[in-house]
Amino acid sequence: MTVLPEPTPTAPAAGQAANPLTDAVISAAVDKAIEDARRKGTSPKAVIGNATPVPQPGIPPMSSKAVDDAVRMLAAGAASLPIGGMTALVVHVLGTVDPAQLAIAGATPVALVLALARLLRRAKDVVPAEVHNHYEGTVYQDQREQRTESYGVWVKNNNQQ
C-alpha cells in the first residue's frame, strides 16, 4: 500500500500572525508594475528605458553557424596570402614561366588533398565500430571459434569447434 505524505496546512496555526501581504496589497503591486511598464515602453522586454535598439558597429548579428562559416572563410583567405605571395615571388624571380608548368604546380596540392580525402573516406569503413556492452549481475561470455572447410566437387562441410 502506498503511503502518502501528510498534507501541509494552508491556514496559519493557532496563535500565529496571518500573512501581512493580503490579496489587495499583491494586486496593487502588480497594477503598479504594469503601469510602470506601460510608461516605459510598449514591448514586454522594454521594461527598463524607452530607447530603441541601435545597430552596433562591426559584424551584424547572425546565427552561430553563419559566424563559424564566416570565420573559416576569413581564415582560409588569410592563409592563401602567403601562398599567393610565394607564387608571385617565384614568377618574378624566374622571369618567364611556362603557363603549363604553373598550372601543374597549382593543381598538384589540390589533387593531393582530394586523394587524401578519398583515402580517409575509405579508411573510415575499414576501422571497426566500437562496441560498449553494459552488464548487471553475473555474466557468462561464451566465445567460440568455428572453422569451416569446404572441398570437392560436391561440398562436404566439416565444422570444428
Residue by residue, DSSP assigns 84-108 as: HHHHHHHHHHHS---HHHHHHHHHH
Q: 142, 143, 148: which is closest to 160 by C-alpha?
A: 148
The per-residue pLDDT of the chain, averaged, comes to 76
pLDDT number for residue 48: 61
- Across 50-64, b (16+ Cβ under 10 Å) vs e yields eeeeeeeeeeeeeee
Which residues contact residue 41 at a Cβ distance below 8 angstroms, ignoring those fewer than 6 apart?
47, 49, 50
Pick out the chain residues at pLDDT < 70: 1, 8-22, 39-51, 59, 97, 148-149, 156-161
Residues of the chain with pLDDT > 90, as a percent, come to 1
- Quote the pTM value: 0.26
